[in-house]
Chains A and B, each alone.
Chain A
Amino acid sequence: MDALVGLEIEQRGEIVIARLEGELDIARAPSIGERIGDGVPTSARGLVIDMLPLEFIDSSGIAMLFGLARRLAGRRQELRVVAAKGGPVRRVLEIVEFDRAAPIHTDVDGALSSIA
């Protein structure tokens, strides 16, 4: 079952944008997490995870996000996540109170500009 979830990593200036698409569950979450982590160079100022195209996320995905947050924090890099308002991803993020780890935005530009 390939391509259940898609990942696109884009460098915009000093910020890395990782776009997640599809459904993210335990099947792919760990590897996705690694790829995103590897895709952020130490020189980057921050990472924006764009989950607007993501249709599903579960606790393993959340765990992945928390892991990334920790990692970036250790490197003094910023993390922002973007999730559609009222969407399933957002709901899950809210339930797990992810905003304590990183700010949740509704659009990518907002997230980008929030990284000073």
Chain B
Amino acid sequence: MRELPELFDLGVKVRSLAYLFLAGASLGLLTLAFPHSEVVRDRELVILAAVAIALAAVMYALAERMVEWQLHAFLASGTLILSLANYYVEATVLYPLLYTWTALYAFYFFALRTALVHVGLIAIAYGVVLGIVAPPSAVVRWLLAVGTPLVAGVLISRLLVRLRSEGAMADQRARALQQSEARTRLVLDTAPDAFVAVDGDGIVTSWNAASERMFGWSASEAVGKPLRNLVFPPAERESYDERRRALLDASEPVKVMRLESDLQRRDGSTFPAERTVSRTRVGDDVVMTAFMRDIADRRRAEEEREQLLREQLARAEAERTAEMVSGMQVLVDAALMHQTVAAMLEDLVVKVRAVLDADGAAIFLADEPGRLRLAASAGGDPDAPDPEAFAFGEYFAGRVALSGEAMILEQPHPEDLADTHMRNVGLESVLGVPLTIEADVTGVLVVGTTARNHFGYEALTLLRLAADRVALAISHARVYEREHRIAETLQRSLLPERLPTLPGLDVAARYLPAAAEAEVGGDWFDVIPLTGGGVGLVMGDVAGKGLAAASMVGQLRSALRAYALENHDPAKVVEQLNRLVWMEADASQMATLLYAIVDPHESAVRWVNAGHPAPLMSFGEHPPRFLDGGSSVPLGVLPFPSYDEASAAMPPDSTLLLYTDGLVERPGEHIDEGMSRLAQRMAGAPEAPEDLLDHLLRGLVPATGTPDDVALLALRSLPVSDSFGLEFPSAPDSLAAMRSLLRRWLGHAQAGRDEIAEITTACGEAATNAIEHAGSERPFRVTGQLTGRTLEITISDHGGWREAREGDQGRGLALMRALMDTVEVTSAAEGTTVKLRRRLDE
């Protein structure tokens, strides 16, 4: 059996025994006071009682100083005294009952075994007494005397053991509880959150250190006070009351709530707090606990985070808007650049796609009313065939056009997309806006994306804005294109389509518009065959560009032609032209002009230079030289300037080059540099004018083009040889040319003036016949051969020689015969050949 903790200390036991002895003695004396049996020896009993009392007194006095065995001894002595008392009453009185007292005492205070020893002692002592006295029913008396205390004692002992252990356990439990309470208290005390417990009336029963810190009330100040006034600001108190009542009334045994409200500190300042309240009901008792937390920091952190988020969102928004604005600008810039409509649309569609981050973009134009055509597409399959034009109302784009409103279509069916290039892209969302000019739909702009819901309100807005600009730009570009086309056509009409065939002369021309310049320039040139075989060469440069310049060029060109054909004097021609410019042109308009007349017959060139770069002449192997002289002011600058002509020899095998300043002017350098570059390039250049011009352009014009228009005109006086061969169109106009050529050649052959005239006339007749009677589209051919002083000229055609009629037309043959030495006419199926021969004078 486990050692049980002593419930009583020795002093208590001793004193109890002392009381027992006293009680026993008193009882014994009391029984003597009443009438009793004779056998009882009073005197002895009184002595025994006195002894017991004395022993009690001793015990009482020595209580604290006694030791265990002494107690047992005293108890044993008590048994002895009782036994003696039983002896002195002859064992007939009920004194054995007193044994029960001692036994009970023993069982009460001692362990079971020890108590049983004392009972044994009682049994022996009484047994002895009974043996001596030998009363009647001694055994019965002995059994009762011993049995009673034994049974009672054992029972008592059991009970006591139970009580003791239970007490010990309860003790343990209580201690454990105490410990756990202590621990909890420690935890609560050190908890960062304020912990408060209140009872059913709202009075604080627990207040931890954190609460002290949070609210400024110490635990001693808080405990016992109503929580209401300690922590709640006045505004919150009513709702607290309500809530507390609700909490109390709630039926669940345990109820937890999380609440947020402002709480108040001792100094009156409030702060936002969160509290977790728990109400527990145990029987009739209610306990409410709350953990409270200052969430000011948390709130602030939350607010800051929200603020940051808002700022970030705003910044992202602003960035997106800025992007969109710059995207808009990009679109607008693209739309407003001077380009052809087609180029602009190609550029735009790519930019729209980039700005909106779309997967595809397309622009449709309504070239015909009510019909759309795909004008530009980006982002789709380039190999897909272009779609046909379609009507308003067909396809998504057509529906946009028909409604005149922006539309969004989710999950478009590929076949619904008019742009065939987009069909396989897998577009999930398409957005279309109409391009309108003054309420007329002129086209549709469609963008598509593969991510659904990609196009939000901003995309739509941006696209609408872009569409407005695009539509405007398209109409501008169209007008511009039209103007440009008009100007171009005009300009092209102002430049000679074909250069005339000039016998004995070879001529070529080039015109290069300025690079990256959409407007036509004011350069023009002309080649004007004049009577007598001469040719007028014109190189002009009207200041300005566009339609204004082009129309001025037109006027000047026509006027100059007219003047030139009227008058063979270059100075007079230019004078007249100047008057025209002076009177007709705007104040700002002026023109430079070089007008030269080349007379191959005279082998000379005469010119007038109105502010134009000097022409360049090359002759054979000689270095090219500029024909300075004859210079004057440009046209339109003075009302009556004087124009003096200059002249220079232009023998056969020489080349004259006219040009505009675009060929020689480069930004940042003096024009002289360009001109010397030109002269260098001309030296050693090919002779034939076409090749010469190619050579010059290759060497002088950069691949990127020139900032200004370039016009070039080269005229070469063919070297005259002893023979020549030329073809002429079978037209009356060819006769003068042929005559001019002949004169030249004959002049070269050193023929006399009359000879030249006569031979020319004769050939003219043959040629006239060839033209007239041959009557075919094929040209006639004139060849000449000088052998010594004999020349032979052959005119052949492809037609049949009709026999001359008598009368007027017969004179031709007569003339020929009269003017030449011999005339041979050979008529064949392929044509007729007339051979004229004459011997020249020495």
Contacts and interface: CB of A to CB of B under 8 A. Distances in A.
B815 A59 contact: yes
Contacts, number: 80
Interface in A51-74: 55-60, 62-63, 66-67
Interface residues of A, number: 27
A84 to B, nearest CB: 11
B754 A91 contact: yes
Nearest to A27: B732
A5 interface: yes
Interface of B: 529, 531-532, 565-566, 732-733, 735-736, 739, 754, 757-758, 760-761, 764-765, 768, 771-772, 808-809, 811-812, 814-815, 818-819
A59 B736 contact: no
Nearest to B813: A59
B536 to A, nearest CB: 12
A95 interface: yes
A50 interface: no
A96 interface: yes
Contact of B772 (A26, A88, A91): A26
A6 B425 CA distance: 76
Nearest to A88: B757
A95 B818 CA distance: 7
Contacts of B532: 22-23, 55
Contacts of A107: none
A71 to B, nearest CB: 14
Given A58-B761, A59-B765, A91-B754, A23 B739 contact: yes
Contacts of A25: 732, 735-736, 739, 764, 768
B760 A95 contact: no
Ranked nearest first, the 5 interchain pairs of A and B with the lowest CB-CB distance are A27-B732, A88-B757, A63-B808, A59-B811, A59-B812
Contact of B811 (A55, A56, A63): A63
Contacts of B760: 56
A94 B193 CA distance: 145
A59 to B, nearest CB: 4
A44 to B, nearest CB: 24
Given A66-B808, A88-B758, A96-B811, A27 B736 contact: yes
Nearest to A6: B531
Most interface-central of A5, A58, A95 (chain B CB within 10 A): A58
A3 B564 CA distance: 10
A2 B565 contact: yes
Contacts of A91: 754, 757-758, 761
A92 B811 CA distance: 10
Contacts of A26: 732, 735, 768, 771-772
Contacts of B812: 58-59
Nearest to B808: A63
A3 B93 CA distance: 193
B732 A59 contact: no
Given A23-B739, A56-B760, A59-B811, A88 B768 contact: no
Interface string A1-14: 11111000000000
Contacts of B772: 26
B364 to A, nearest CB: 53
Contacts of B735: 25-27, 58
B793 to A, nearest CB: 15
Contacts of A1: 529, 531, 733, 736
A88 B815 contact: no
B765 A58 contact: yes
7 contacts: A3-B531, A58-B761, A59-B765, A67-B808, A88-B758, A91-B758, A95-B818
Contacts of A67: 808
Contacts of A4: 531, 736
B733 A59 contact: no
A84 B118 CA distance: 199
Nearest to B811: A59
Contact of A56 (B739, B808, B809, B818): B739
Contacts of B809: 59, 63
A5 B531 contact: yes
A2 B529 CA distance: 9
B316 to A, nearest CB: 77
Contacts of A56: 739, 757, 760-761, 764
A23 B736 contact: yes
Contacts of B819: 95
B565 A62 contact: no
B808 A3 contact: no
Nearest to B568: A3
A55 B753 CA distance: 12
Given A23-B531, A26-B771, A87-B757, 4 more contacts: A2-B565, A3-B565, A26-B772, A92-B815
A22 B565 CA distance: 12
Nearest to B740: A23
Given A25-B736, A26-B768, A58 B815 contact: yes
A27 B733 CA distance: 6
Contacts of B811: 59, 62-63, 96
Contacts of A66: 808
B529 A88 contact: no
A68 to B, nearest CB: 12
Most interface-central of B532, B735, B814, B818 (chain A CB within 10 A): B735
Nearest to B758: A91
Contacts of B754: 86, 88, 91
A62 B809 CA distance: 9
Contacts of B768: 25-26, 58-60
A63 B804 CA distance: 13
Contacts of A27: 732-733, 735-736
A2 B565 CA distance: 7
A6 to B, nearest CB: 8
B561 to A, nearest CB: 9
Nearest to A22: B531
Nearest to A60: B768
Contacts of B565: 2-3
Contacts of A3: 531, 565-566
A63 B806 CA distance: 12
Most interface-central of B764, B772, B809 (chain A CB within 10 A): B764
A91 to B, nearest CB: 7
B752 to A, nearest CB: 12
Contacts of B733: 1, 27
A57 B765 CA distance: 10
B328 to A, nearest CB: 60
A5 B732 CA distance: 13
Nearest to B772: A26
Contacts of A88: 754, 757-758, 761
A27 B812 CA distance: 15
Nearest to A63: B808
A1 B733 CA distance: 7
Nearest to A55: B532
A89 to B, nearest CB: 9
Contacts of B739: 23, 25, 56
B117 to A, nearest CB: 173
Nearest to B753: A88
B535 to A, nearest CB: 11
Contact of B815 (A55, A86, A87, A96): A96
A1 B758 CA distance: 23
Contacts of B736: 1, 4, 23, 25, 27
A51 to B, nearest CB: 14
A62 B808 CA distance: 8
Contacts of A55: 532
